Copies of this chain bind each other. A is one copy, B any other.
C-alpha cells in the first residue's frame, strides 16, 4: 500500500478525510439504529473495518484538488470571472470519503468471491463475524491444465468439517451473506454522495461518468479475474492485459485524478493529462501488487501469502512464465501433491529463475515512464503543486514494498 506522504500539509488533509469518513459512517449508524440492535452492530463493525485503510485514493483526490485550486487562484486575478465551475472544498472532502467507501465495497465483495477471511493483516468483515470460528480458506486443488484452482468452500477438508457441523455452516453462510449486503450498502452510499454534490449540471454529469467508468471497469476486471481463475476463460494475453487495466487501476488512481480535475474545473488539456497519467500509474500499481503477492513479504502486505496461488490467479507474471521454457516445470510444481506452502516456495523459485520478476519490473517501469512522458508533454499546464504530488506518487510506487 502507498503512504503518499507528499505535501507539507499531508497530515492535516489526512485528518480532514478521516473526519469526513467518520461523519458519513455516523449518518449510516443513525439510520441503522432505527432497525434494531443486530443491524446497528453490523454497521458498527463495518464502519470500524472501513477505517483501517491507508486512504491512498481520498488523499490523492484532495491533494491534487488543492494543488489545482492553488494554481488557478494564483493565476487568476480576483473577480476576473470566467472561471470554470468549482466544487466547495467541504464537498470534495465528502467525495474523498465516498471513494474510500467505494473501495471498501469492492474489497467486501472481492473477499466474499475469493473466500478470504483476512485483510490488512487482520480478520476481514466475514472473519470478524465468524469471531474465532476458524473457518480457514479452502486449500488448492491443481487442475489438469496445471493452473491451481480453489474449491472456495465446496471441497476442502475445512468444509467437510463444516459439513459435519450444521450450526457452523449456517454461521458461515450468514457471515458471507452479511458481507454481500454490507457491500451493497457501501456501493449505494458512495453513489448517493456523488449524486448529491452541488455542481453545475455539465460538471455533475462528468463526475457521474467518471464514477461509472471506475465502477464498470472494476466489475469487468473482477469478472475476468474470476473467469480466468476458475478456468472458464483461457489465459490469453489480451484478456490478462484487460484485467490488469480494469480491476483496480481505474478506481485507484484514474478515478481520484479525474475527479480532482473535474471538481477543480481544470482546463481540458490538464484533465486529459491527469486521466492518462492516472491510467498508466494505475496499471503500474496493479502490476506491482501482483509482484508483491508473488515475491513480496506477507508480513508487509498483510494478505494471506498463498491466496493468489490457492485461488489459481492468472496475472501478467503467470502470463510471462507460460511463454517461457520453465512453464512445464511450473505447471508440474503446481500439480504437486504437497502443502500449499511447499508448492508456493517451489513455484516462487521457478518464477524467479525464469526471469518473471525482472519482466514484471520492466512492465512497471514502462508504465511509470509513460506517465512521466504524459506529464512532461503537457508542459507547464500541469501546475507545480500537482506535478509534485504525482512525482511523489511515482517515487512511492517505485519503492513500494507493500
Residue of B nearest to A102 (CB): B188
Contact pattern, A 199-242, Cβ under 8 Å of B = 1, otherwise 0:
00100110010011001100110111011001111000011001
Q: How far is the CA of A195 from the CA of B188 in the complex (A)?
A: 11
Q: How far is the CA of A173 from the CA of B215 in the complex (A)?
A: 22
A374 proximal to B (CB < 8 A) = no
Chain B neighbourhood of A31, CB < 8 A: 216
**What is the count of identical protomers in the complex?**
2
A93 proximal to B (CB < 8 A) = no
Total A residues in contact with B, Cβ cutoff 8 Å: 72
Task: Pick the residue among B36, B152, B187, B212 that contacts A184 (CB under 8 A).
Answer: B187
Binds B, one of A70-78, A174-182, A313-321: A174-182
Chain B neighbourhood of A39, CB < 8 A: 220, 223-224
Residue of B nearest to A35 (CB): B220
Q: By the criterion CB–CB under 8 Å, are B174 and A230 in contact?
A: yes
Q: How far is the CA of A395 from the CA of B254 in the complex (A)?
A: 53
Q: How far is the CA of A39 from the CA of B219 in the complex (A)?
A: 10
Q: How far is the CA of A372 from the CA of B204 in the complex (A)?
A: 41
Task: Pick the residue among B153, B211, B223 that contacts A178 (CB under 8 A).
Answer: B223
A112 proximal to B (CB < 8 A) = yes
Chain B neighbourhood of A223, CB < 8 A: 38-39, 42, 177-178, 181
What are 22 A-B contacts defined by CB distance under 8 Å?
Answer: A31-B216, A36-B239, A36-B242, A38-B224, A38-B233, A38-B239, A39-B220, A109-B180, A151-B173, A153-B173, A154-B169, A154-B172, A167-B231, A170-B231, A181-B223, A191-B191, A192-B212, A195-B195, A195-B208, A196-B204, A196-B208, A198-B201
The residues of A with any CB-CB pair to B shorter than 8 Å are 31-32, 35-36, 38-39, 42, 105, 109, 112-113, 141, 143, 149-155, 159-160, 162-164, 166-167, 169-174, 177-178, 180-185, 187-188, 191-192, 194-196, 198, 201, 204-205, 208, 211-212, 215-216, 219-220, 222-224, 226-227, 230-233, 238-239, 242, 246
